[in-house]
Amino acid sequence: MATVKKDERLTRSQSFMCVGFAGFFSRTATSPLEVVKIKSQVGTFHCKRGFWQSVLLIYQHEGLRGFWKGNLASCLRLFPYTAVHLATYKKIVHLHMDELGFISQWRAILAGGLAGMAAALVTYPLEVAETRLIAQSCRQPTYIGVVPTLSKIYRTEGLLALYRGFSLSVLGVFACIYMSSFIQILLISCLWQEPPFRFTPLQNFINGCVAAGVAQTLSHPFETVKRKMQAQSARLPHFGGVDVHFSGMTDCFVQVVRHKGVLSLWNGLTANTIKIVPYFGLLFTCFEMCKQVCLYRNGYIVSPLSYKPAPGVDQSLRPYELEEVKRYLRNRNFGSGESSFGNRW
């Protein structure tokens, strides 16, 4: 059995803000690796000689700003994705909880997959815009800005173009969630040999990185084909820079294997693997920093630089309950002050 736990000392808006800020910062910091990965998956001319040559070619042809192409679309996608994912996950979990608030582990994993699918459905056009912005050449740009990109794709190619490759995104979501959960269970049972509630932050970080690395490696072919489908368009120069031409999802797999070899389905894996540790490290660190600031503002800890509890504060109280207690104590102290003042006269 599993329970769904969160820090009740944060309000919903604070939790959402912490997740959003951490995601925004970590994505921006690791954007160069994401650009190299996507260009390698699409198959643009920059990325035909390996990781370091790809980095050098992007810098020579597009400069430093080329490493942050599409980052705004990626960051804008974070907030609606997080909001939809959390709301959907909470709703599905509550439907499957028993009267004691417990839910089986695999049902919780299924809820995570369904929530990820719903969030991907809402934000998928932004992912398509990110791919188009990254794949194009800076010297002859077809798209400028996120909103104009979405508008141009819709006007010239129709609504379905904004959801090209979505089925692969759904497969990737479920593959990643189930594989990462399976890997974490193996790590818990084989490596650590102790219950998860005793894990240190370092153990949780290692679990997350290893599970994400294995799951993303196994699901990488799905993402490679998805990126090619997002980038290809007969209305763009050189068909959007894609290295093979195809008519659909199955044909894309066939053409890639036939002309580029099976291993080309894992193009961009080096950049993706290098990205895992700094991405999750920054995500975890920024989330904890933001969380500490919120806990300090709520009155639970003595400083935003440590988790030392504030003396006399019940950590089990929710923010609105703690505020009610503070208001009650202030009113009582004010009343006792007035009473002693009256007695003196």
Q: Which residue type occupies 197?
A: F
pLDDT value of residue 209: 82
Tell me: pLDDT of 35 over 50.
yes
Kindly report the backbone phi and psi dihedral angles of residue 199, in degrees, each rounded to the nearest multiple of 5, phi listed first: -65, 140
Would you list the domain boundaries of the chain?
12-298, 315-345
What's the pLDDT tens digit per position in 155-207? Answer: 999 999 999 999 998 887 777 776 777 776 666 666 666 666 566 777 778 87
CA angle (197, 201, 203) in 5-degree steps: 75
Q: What is the DSSP letter of 301?
A: B
* Token pair of 281 as six digits: 């490290």
pLDDT value of residue 46: 66
Q: For residues 192 and 186, what is the distance between their CA atoms, to the nearest angstrom?
A: 9
User: Can you name the CATH fold of 12-298?
Assistant: Mitochondrial carrier fold (1.50.40)
pTM of the model as a whole = 0.84
Q: For residues 276 and 262, what is the distance between their CA atoms, to the nearest angstrom?
A: 24
Q: For residues 303 and 311, what is the distance between their CA atoms, to the nearest angstrom?
A: 12
What's the pLDDT tens digit per position in 42-74? Answer: 988 767 678 898 899 999 888 898 999 999 999
Lowest mean pLDDT among 107-111, 152-156, 192-196, 313-317: 192-196
What's the pLDDT tens digit per position in 207-260? Answer: 778 888 888 888 899 999 999 999 999 888 888 889 899 999 999 999 999 999
